Structure 1
Amino acid sequence: MDPNKVEEASDSEDGEMASVMGFSGFGKKARTFDLDAIFETTRRTAIERSQRILEERQNDTQMEEEGESSKSAKSSVHTQRDKAAAAASSRKQESDSSSDSGSDSDSDSDLIGPPLPPQHTAQDDGNELMRPPPAPGSTAHSDEDDDEEEEDDDDDDDDVCNPVKKIPDTHEITLTHGTRTVSALALDPSGARLVTGGYDYDVRFWDFAGMDQALQAFRSLQPCECHQIRSLQYSVTGDVILVISGNAQAKVLDRDGFNVMECAKGDQYIVDMAKTKGHTAMLNSGCWHPKIKEEFMTCSNDGTVRTWDVNSEKKQHKSVFKPRSFQGKKVVPTCCTYSRDGKLIAAGCQDGTIQIWDRNLSVHTKFHCRQAHIPGSETSCLAFSYDGVTLASRGGDDTLKTWDIRNFKKPVNVATGLTNYFSMTDCCFSPDDKLLVTGTSVKKDEGNGKLVFFDRTSFQKVYEIEVTNSSAIRCLWHPKLNQIMVGTGNGLAKVYYDPVKSHRGAKLCVVKSQRKEKQAETLTQDYIITPHALPMFREARQRSTRKQLEKDRLDPKKSNKPEPPVSGPGRGGRVAAHGGTLSSFIVKNIALDKTDDSNPRQAILRHAKEASENPYWVAPAYTLTQPEPLFAEESEEDEEADKEPEWKKRKI
């Protein structure tokens, strides 16, 4: 059958259906495509594209051999790309015209059906070969901008190749903690607050956002009374602080310094330290778990490493790890730390060993190096790298070593000659894990303490910073702020930063001007002077000082003139005569009295005649009713009895 007739029949059926349903038609006619023409156009486009790519590669190799500049190379590439883009646009127009030849003229405004493959192919070609036009309000990229971008890329490449350029040491600020050694240093995870502790028992809180150029701490306290602060650390969330002191009990403080928890103290009379609730001797170090915010760890001179839980009601330890020497004897751990994933617990001991346990198995060590440092030297710090493979140890034998925990028998690298006089000298990794930092100690007036930087792979000393004329003990490189904090032996805490490479932290307080001190308001009496006041209300003019003193001298009250001696009988409680003293009065009136009171009966009878003639007290009351007294008369028997000797008288 003829296809034209079939199409006419279908059109007549559509017209009848449209008239029955009550509308004019079924819309515009769909476009038709010639598939052979489309495939041919796509094949040609692919061939031309491959040819252009080959030509560009050949041109690039020729330009490299001839040593032409990058700017000329870019211009040639741009011209070739422009030509290719023009050719692609012409091909696009041809394909559009060829595809539109079989369609209706009014179908260009509103297309029905799937998009044209050649059109999209041409658009893809244009996107790859031509740059997009600039957005409204923006400027187009020029060759100079490209050169600047290349220079920036080169600088970034240099920074990647040379990690020394990433050390932020162009600027520094000094925080004065006190006059004694700063033995503890901690920054919260956000980098907003710094905490320092020292041998003066003080813990000081510093807020970078709240400080001005005066650089004053906003709070100072002594959480452990008269015990030196040995370690401070913020938890993972930054809401509490672990305080390790010379006491046997660790404390946990909140961000404002208020007490949250105090660990229990163990019984020092129990031999097995695992049976006690807590430590029985001075603490050496402690740290928080990197993943569990409630768990922390401490080590002590009682020869144990203990883990704790802040929320524990009994305040006793969770688990106990007991380091042992080669002979199985007790060893004192001097420092301890968690691995980055929190699965391992490492401790450096006084016998020079480094012992590592699995956190869930507290009996036997998982890794044990028996000659990590010289026996008897205190290993001051252990630090895991960010990738969790390398362990750095700072020894009391003036060395810094790195270890691969996958092969823990021998150190990977060793650096010697790093003087260490303190049992808490730090070492830490840089945020990009390419550098290792530690501090050196000096004696008084014998040089400057330094902060030494080592390359992690080659372990060459690549940089050093002279901190101050005292030992550099604590060091901390915060990854978020990109700032380095150092605690020194003369009571200072230094912060090193770079205005370009560092963020917030010390940059917030150095831009604030120092606040003026508010003067205390004092109330003063104002004198009101009236020129026409009465003389009685006028204030006397102040005369010369000499005349005023002479006047006061004549005044007995102001000059405190002593009273003259009493003449006469005396007055006002004062006694005169014979010197006017109390002793002379007693001698005159009592001691020299001639009356003899040795016979009390005669002394009383002296007043009998006067009492009978002139009664005054008792007798007048009984004058009417009192009978006359009758006295017994003496007989002869009584007289004879009186004459008998004393030894014959009957005792009554």
Structure 2
Amino acid sequence: MSDRTSDADNSRKDADISSVMGFAGFGKKARTFDLDAIFEQTRRTAIERSQRVLDERVQQEAHNGSQEEKPSTSTSSKPETDSSDSDGSDSDVIGPPVPPGFSAQTEEEEDDDDMVGPPLPPGYRRTTADEDEGDDDDDDDDMNDEEDDNPVKKIPDTHEITLQHGTKTVSALALDPSGARLVTGGFDYDVKFWDFAGMDAALQAFRSLQPCECHQIRSLQYSITGDVILVVAGNSQAKVLDRDGFQVLECVKGDQYIVDMANTKGHTAMLNDGCWHPKIKEEFLTCSNDGTVRMWDLNSEKKHKSVFKPRSQQGKKVTPTCCTYSRDGKLIAAGCQDGTIQIWDRNLSVHTKFHCRQAHTPGSDTSCLTFSYDGLTLASRGGDDTLKTWDIRNFRKPLSVVNGLTTFFPMTDCCFSPDDKLLVTGTSVKKDEGNGKLVFFERESLKKAYEIEVANASVVRCLWHPKLNQIMIGTGNGLAKVYYDPVKSQRGAMLCVVKSKRKEKHAETLTQDYIITPHALPMFREARQRSTRKQLEKDRLDPLKSHKPEPPVSGPGRGGRVAAHGGTLSSYIVKNIAVDKSDDSNAREAILRHAKEAAENPYWVAPAYKKTQPEPVFAEEEDEEEEVDKDQPEWKKRKI
């Protein structure tokens, strides 16, 4: 009872307040919603709707299957059944109703539905010619599929251009990631920059320099961003250049008197190879004859980042001849002179992760290691004239081997095609004993798929750019060749071959400009020059305009110039001293020789003081001695 009384009082108070404030509904509770019930109702509605759509779809499929089983009849027979069927199907099919007479399809219409192309008008049937055209299209599709499956068809070798680097071996090639610039280095110590977009058909390099003075260039490579170039030469200090050839970094040289190479800051012997990290743009790798593989950071030039030391089976130092990163940058591989291939984890520099002791013949320089694009296969080009592929997951024995690939250079390399189906390398030849070849092998079996005869010289470097789909080759006679296909390739060499050669600017003779003033007064008007040749002849006769050199001096000399015997003052003095025949061995006699003439004809001292000085009076010598003896006391007098 008390609760009811309190509720009544509250309601009364609310009514009083509402009447005083002037509005009703004051103090009412807000409307509440049962969210759980709303969610449950929505879920049920969605389930029912999905079930309805599924049932309609099943009924439609069953209806279409029953129509296919019935024998085809013309649309004119049994119109009533057609209309009833169409009405029944309209209730099951979602969408606008089908016009009467179009519900049933004949066999010809069903055949037309299978054909590719626009619908045929009523009563028209495809002829054999149309069917043959369809068969031709199918044949073309099959041919395209075969070309896609055959990697040899993708080799861009229909056209080529030749870049003249020099006369000696092109030992290094590098192409930036965008494919705009090519850099070549050779045994002539030169590094040349080629810009495809800036070159014309003359194919001239826009810059040439010698970054390492008198050391052969061993390797060149652009970073992943393409803003700097790693230069590895025959010295012990690798360099990093920018895109224009200016030095950014020079690695520090180590102390050659320290036995443990891990305790010195840099390499102490000739470099062999180097490469950039595929993911980190500031990190690069170098290997040297000092038996180490060193990792460097572009921002710290005073010391290496870490050191990897290859070891033989007996634990002795081994020289690495090539090095590379894996595609993900987690592994570092090095080929050594004892025929081993050693692979480290990038973060663990002590023990190798993979090691193959007899990868190539001991004593032969492994010239190249490269990973496939999927990162599972490693290809090695050995100095024993072999090419081998290795599976990283099973590194004990090679997958395939090719023998008889002659190589004479310690930097002969190999590379994978952009689709990862082919492996490319070059062969070496002796002078005038054949042509160097670029050989293509299938990746899986290393069967020879294709070859290109390049030139009458060895093929040292090869590079297949994935973006341009063009192949760059460095040869032993100083040429860099670029192979491309106008259909399959893009940009690169195709930009410069279409440009005509620039006209050579002949050195014109510089003459004074002639100012034409047509309305000048006659007194200021200059005679018009009829011919430049005549004016040049006149200028040649004018010694001031032609800067005619002065003729040789004849005689004793003039104008501050002396004559023969070298034409210098020193030579003139020497000549006069040699001509003077006087004997100056006795100096007193040489001076007294002029005493009589000086007394009779004084010239220097006496005439200057003649008017001011009195005549000198000299006392006799005997009188002077007597006066001196008289003035002195007796004990000071001179005793005779």
Q: TM-score normalised to the size of structure 2?
A: 0.68
Q: Tell me, in whole angstroms, the C-alpha distance in 1 between the residues paired with 2:74 and 2:159.
A: 53
Counterparts of 2:422 and 2:270 in 1: how far apart (Å)? 33
Of all paired residues, the percent bearing the same amino acid is: 66
CA–CA separation in structure 2 for the residues paired with 1:164 and 1:50 = 47
- 1:158 corresponds in structure 2 to 146
Alpha-carbon deviation of 1:343? 1.1
Q: How many Å apart are 1:519 and its aligned residue?
A: 2.5
Partner of 2:254: 266
**1:512 corresponds to which residue?**
499
Deviation by residue 1:529-588 (Cα, 9 ceiling, x = unmatched): xxxxxxxx9x9xx9xxxxxxxxxxxxxxx9999779xxxxxxxxxxxxxxxx97999779
1:568-587 matches, within 5 Å, as none
How far did 1:116 drift? 3.8
Is residue 226 of structure 1 aligned with residue 214 of structure 2? yes
The equivalent residue for 2:65 is 47
Letter in 1 for 2:256: Q
Out of 195, 203, 206, the position equivalent to 2:183 is 195
The match for 1:254 is 242
1:13-52 correspondence to structure 2 within 5 Å: 42=60, 45-48=63-66, 51=69
Partner of 1:13: none
Alignment correspondent of 1:632? 623
Residue of 318, 326, 332 corresponding to 2:305: 318
The one-character-per-residue Cα deviations of 1:303-361 (angstroms, maximum 9, x if unpaired) are: 1111111123x442111100000010110000001111111110000011000011111
CA distance in 1, matches of 2:452, 2:408: 19
Question: Does structure 1 retain, via aligned residues, the 8 Å contact 2:279–2:329?
Answer: yes
**Counterpart-to-counterpart distance in 2, 1:636 and 1:498:** 128
Secondary structure of 2:364 counterpart: coil
User: Does 2:378 correspond to 1:374?
Assistant: no
For 2:279, the equivalent position in structure 1 comes to 291
What letter corresponds to residue 177 of structure 2 in structure 1? P
Superposition RMSD in Å: 5.2
Which residue of structure 2 aligns with residue 171 of structure 1? 159
Larger radius of gyration: 1
TM alignment of 1:166-565, pairs within 5 A: 166-312=154-300, 314-524=301-511
- Alpha-carbon distance between aligned partners in 1 of 2:81 and 2:172, rounded to the nearest angstrom: 74
**Rounded Cα–Cα distance in structure 1 between residues aligned with 2:273 and 2:210:** 18
CA distance in 1, matches of 2:408, 2:382: 10
Q: 1:280 to 1:119 in 2, by over 3 A?
A: farther
Q: Report how far residue 39 of structure 1 moved.
A: 9.3
Q: Structure 2: how far apart are the matches of 1:637 and 1:621?
A: 28
Using the TM superposition, give the Cα deviation of residue 199 of structure 1 relative to its aligned residue in structure 2, in angstroms: 0.7
Partners of 1:38 and 1:117 within 8 A in 2 = no
Inter-partner Cα distance in structure 1 for 2:402 and 2:320: 23
* Cα separation, 1, equivalents of 2:74 and 2:325: 61
The DSSP-based 3-state class of the residue aligned with 1:463 is: strand
Query: What is aligned with 2:569?
Result: none
| Equivalent position amino acid for 1:327 in 2 | Q
String of CA shifts for 1:443-492, please: whole Å, max 9, x gaps: 11111111111122222222211111111000111111111111000000
Equivalent residues of 2:387, 2:405 under 8 A apart: yes
Paired with 2:501 and 2:229, the residues of 1 have a C-alpha distance of 29
Q: Specify the code of the residue in structure 2 equivalent to 1:632.
A: D
Query: How far apart in 1 are the matches of 2:249 and 2:579?
Result: 76
Q: Which residue of 2 aligns with 1:641?
A: none
Distance verdict in 2 for CA 1:95–1:224, change over 3 Å = farther
**Structure 2: distance between partners of 1:185 and 1:85:** 75
Partners of 1:43 and 1:527 in 2: CA distance:
96
- Partner of 1:175, secondary structure, is strand
| Of 155-164 and 142-151, the range deviating more from structure 2 | 142-151
List per-residue Cα deviations over 1:180-221 (Å, max 9, x = no partner).
100000111121111110011111111112211111111111
Given that residues 41 and 118 in structure 1 are in contact (C-alpha distance below 8 angstroms), is that contact kept between their aligned partners in structure 2?
Answer: no
- Measured after TM superposition, the shift of residue 366 of structure 1 is 0.7
1:431 counterpart letter in structure 2: P
Cα 1:86/1:360, change in 2 over 3 Å? farther
AA at the equivalent of 1:438:
T
Call closer, same or farther: CA 1:650–1:420 in 2, change over 3 Å.
farther
Structure 1 stretch 360-369 or stretch 504-513: which is displaced more?
504-513
- More deviation in 486-495 or 199-208? 199-208
AA aligned to 2:239 is: K
The answer (yes or no) to whether the contact 1:42–1:118 under 8 Å persists in 2 is no
- Mapped to 2, the partners of 1:40 and 1:308 lie a distance apart of 68
Matched-pair contact (CA < 8 Å) for 2:56–2:93: no
**Quick one: structure 1 residues 583 and 622, their matched pair in 2 at CA, closer, same or farther if it must change by over 3 Å?**
closer
1:532: which partner in 2? none
Query: How far does residue 268 in structure 1 lie from its aligned partner after superposition?
Result: 1.2
CA distance in 1, matches of 2:178, 2:74: 53
Q: 1:650 to 1:290 in 2, by over 3 A?
A: farther
CA distance in 1, matches of 2:82, 2:501: 69
> Aligned-pair distance for 1:115?
9.1
CA distance in 1, matches of 2:236, 2:442: 38
Deviation digits for residues 564-614 of structure 1 (CA, Å, limit 9, x no counterpart): 9xxxxxxxxxxxxxxxx97999779999xxx998899xx79x979x9xxx9
Q: How far apart, in 1, do the equivalents of 2:292 and 2:280 lie?
A: 21
Distance 1:86 1:346 in 2: 80
Shift of the 560–483 alpha-carbon distance from structure 1 to 2, 3 Å rule, reads closer
- State the distance in 1 between where 2:198 and 2:388 align: 39
Instruction: Give the number of aligned pairs.
Output: 516
SS at match of 2:215: coil
Structure 1 gaps, min length 5: 1-33, 56-79, 102-113, 529-536, 543-557, 565-580, 639-648
Question: Which string of whole-angstrom CA distances, capped at 9 and with x for unpartnered residues, describes residues 506-543 of structure 1?
Answer: 12211111111122332347999xxxxxxxx9x9xx9x
* Cα separation, partners in 2 of 1:96 and 1:511, compared to 1, 3 Å: same
- Contact kept? 2:195, 2:205, Cα under 8 Å: yes
> Is the partner of 1:506 in helix, strand or coil?
helix
| Aligned-pair CA distance for 1:631 | 7.7
Query: Partners in 2 of 1:637 and 1:319 — Cα distance?
Result: 103
What is the CA-CA distance between 1:42 and the residue it aligns to?
3.2
Q: Secondary structure at the match of 2:224?
A: coil
Cα shift readout 1:112-153 (whole Å, capped 9, x = no counterpart): xx9946859x99x99995779869xxxx99756644542332
* TM superposition score normalised by structure 1: 0.67
Q: Which deviations, in whole Å up to 9, do the C-alpha atoms of 1:612-638 show, x marking residues without a partner?
A: xx9994695458x99999983776999
Conservation of the 8 A alpha-carbon contact between 1:92 and 1:119: no
What CA deviation, in whole Å up to 9, does each residue of 1:287-317 have, x standing for no partner? Answer: 11111122111111111111111123x4421
Measured in 2, the distance between the counterparts of 1:249 and 1:94 equals 92
Q: Partners of 1:520 and 1:488 in 2: how far apart?
A: 36
